[in-house]
A and B are shown apart, each in its own frame.
Chain A
Amino acid sequence: MSRLLLALWLALYGAAAAAHGIAVIVNPDSGIDSISREEVSHLFLGRIKHLLPGTPAVVIDTLPLRQAFYQALVRRGLPEIDAYWARLRFSGRTQPPMQIESAEMVIERVARDRNAIGYIDGALVDSRVRPVLRLED
């Protein structure tokens, strides 16, 4: 029952998020004002491993938005994204993004780390993070 409700909620929430678009957010102290959609896709798919020179980027997936985000970003469904990571995972070199349950926790994580980058529902952006790219459906 609860599963069903959760799925329903996720769908509704996803749809609501889609209405405002998905905002890619970084730490305001990162010094990054804007970022290209390609750079975002390279960061989230492990091609670019640094947001700032010297330290590895911390890339965060927001679980409920994952499907919508990747669909918007590279027009791919989650199975393909997961298969991609499955290929890379055994080498241990390239790490997939860490996955966080809620937007609030993502915001906290990004606000705490200069090297972090994540994405949330465009409607939930606040002053703790800086949106650098808005993805529309």
Chain B
Amino acid sequence: MRTDPLTRPQDASAGMAPSRRLGASVVWRTTLLILFFAGLVGILVALASTVMVAREERQRMQQSLVELMETVERTASVAAFARDEQLAYEVARGLLRNGTVSRVVIREGDNELAAVGEASVDTRTVTLPVLTLALASPFDPSERVGDLQLWPASERIDHDAGAYSGYIAIILLVQVVVVVLAVAWVVLNVVTRPVKKLSDDLHQLKVGSGELIVLPPGHRNDEIGRLTEDINSLIGRTGDLLAAERDMRAQREESERKFRLLFESAQTGIFTLDGEGVLHDWNPWFSRMLGLPAHGDAARRYALGALLGDDTSRLDALMVRALSDQRPAAADFEIPHGTAGSLWLHLVLNPMPGNLMQGIVNDVTEQKRAEASAIAMAERDPLTGLLNRRGIEHRLGDALATLRPDTGLALMVVDLDGFKQVNDTMGHDAGDRVLVAAARHLEAVVRRTDLVARIGGDEFVVVLCALESADTARFIASKIVSTLARPVDCGDGQSATIGASVGVAYTATPADAADKLMRRADDAMYEAKRAGKSQFRFAAGS
């Protein structure tokens, strides 16, 4: 498994319409917003200033007209006082030369001394009021001698004021545009560009590759610099975390591999089992041992009980014990295996959470065999391979206990005659050979199910099981006597002739005690000895 860099959502702007990308870009958005608002403000200011400037300009022009009238007032007064049309006309003409004046009238009382120009009748513009200046006598300020009346040229004034205010508005707009562009440029280069660059760098960064974001130049000591440093430290920490996670994962994989190896190659069966005795998981050793496929498959359910051939529900009892006591429970199971007999498995069940059990199976066939052979050794005579005293006592008890009705059991005590002489004259090896040969003869005479034992130096015991009558015992006893009377090869081309005295005790009663039976057979054997050896005697009551 490879550690991929953190997956990201697809770049949202890729392959989109430019308009969407404009909206998605902080650079464009800030620029457009600045341009928009500043442009709006500029236009509003220009409009307001246009109106205000026009009004101001109109007032200023009116004021200048008033001043103009005041300039000629004295002369006009003189003209009115002297009723001098010529002078009045000159004054009026002089006034009319100003473009913002459309008509001038100078009166002396009700008499028009001079009237020049035409009153404009342009309905489109706001007609400015007619300006009237009272003309006083040059010699008596309190005496009114006439009027000076002046009609402003409204359309001309409007036009001039409009032109002037338009000029002002253009200057303002130019100023606004310049300021806006400057602000936009500054914001763009000082804030949004670096931010966008940060964003782009961060977006293209491969986390965990050790790359860091480049600090935008000139932003070392401001917030953008701090943001960059913070992002870099975050990236570093993320990288460390990723590396740590990678290491941990590698470690985990390593240990998993080790465990898997242990699990796979263990010379022990390892498995899990549910409360119903169904196998969930197992290792190769287990599958080899119990002839399962290497891996479980959902379609087939394998019950452990069936695999173990457990027909006495010992496994169920074991499972109940493990799950109810919540303690490991163990038992040995013997299962038929091939032709070579049986396989012994030692099973341990460990309870796990969730009504599950973890199990371990070990092949204990060898130990069992060793144990059995140890037991056998303990119950056998090493020289002849026959049962020894303990072995025959052990088995005799069993044979008596399992004695079926209408059947009998015969116990024979066989004592070799003249063995001591062979031992003394021909040596221990010869004696041993005689004993082994006697043992083989005894085994040859009886059935496989019968028991043969050597319980002393030259004393043997034969137990005949499942006899229908004492006659069979009689026949076998005579056969033993005749067989052991033959010469025995002692090696080195020598042979020895010995015999056997046999005492037989017969019983059909299971309750009979083994030791009593033994004593009766023993007594019968001594009787046979006393009767001259190489013969058998039945114990009394048999």
Contact = CB atoms under 8 A, between A and B. Distances in A.
Interface in B268-302: none
Nearest to B75: A87
Interface string B80-94: 011111110010000
Contact of A46 (B74, B75, B82, B90): B82
B154 to A, nearest CB: 31
A36 interface: no
B425 to A, nearest CB: 199
A91 B84 contact: yes
Nearest to A74: B139
B521 interface: no
B85 A93 contact: yes
B225 interface: no
A76 B87 contact: no
B140 A45 contact: no
Contacts of A46: 82, 84
A136 B184 CA distance: 86
Interface in B124-172: 138-140
A45 B86 contact: no
A88 B140 contact: no
B78 interface: yes
Contacts of A41: 139
A84 B138 contact: yes
Contacts of A128: none
Contact of A87 (B83, B85, B87, B140): B87
A79 interface: no
Given A87-B75, A87-B87, A91-B90, A47 B82 contact: yes
A92 interface: yes
Contacts of B140: 74
Given A84-B138, A87-B75, A45 B87 contact: no
A21 to B, nearest CB: 20
B81 A45 contact: yes
Contact of B84 (A74, A75, A76, A94): A94
B86 A47 contact: no
Contacts of A84: 78, 138
A47 B85 CA distance: 12
A60 to B, nearest CB: 18
Contacts of B139: 41, 45, 74-76
Contacts of B84: 46, 88, 91, 93-94
A84 B84 CA distance: 12
Interface string A47-79: 101000000000000000000000000111000
Nearest to A41: B139
Contacts of B86: 91-93
A45 B140 CA distance: 12
Nearest to A89: B87
A47 B81 contact: yes
A94 B140 CA distance: 19
Contacts of A76: 139
Nearest to B90: A91
Contacts of B87: 87-88, 90-91, 93-94
Contacts of A90: 87
Contacts of A93: 82, 84-87
B345 to A, nearest CB: 150
Nearest to B89: A91
A31 B138 CA distance: 30
A97 to B, nearest CB: 13
Contacts of B81: 45, 47
Of B75, B78, B82, B84, which is in contact with the most chain A CB atoms at under 10 Å from its CB? B82
B431 to A, nearest CB: 190
Nearest to A75: B139
A74 B387 CA distance: 185
A46 B87 CA distance: 13
Interface in B69-114: 74-75, 78-79, 81-87, 90
Nearest to B74: A87
A110 B476 CA distance: 219
Given A45-B139, A74-B139, A74-B140, A88 B85 contact: no
A70 B74 CA distance: 19
Interface string A80-123: 00001001101111100000000000000000000000000000
Contacts of A49: 83
A52 B79 CA distance: 23
Nearest to A46: B82
B107 to A, nearest CB: 15
A76 B140 CA distance: 10
Nearest to B85: A93
6 contacts: A84-B138, A88-B79, A91-B87, A93-B82, A94-B83, A94-B84
Interface of A: 41, 45-47, 49, 74-76, 84, 87-88, 90-94
Given A46-B82, A75-B139, A93-B86, 8 more contacts: A87-B75, A87-B78, A87-B79, A88-B82, A91-B86, A91-B87, A93-B87, A94-B87
Interface of B: 74-75, 78-79, 81-87, 90, 138-140
Q: Which 3 A-B pairs have the closest CB atoms?
A: A91-B86, A91-B87, A74-B139
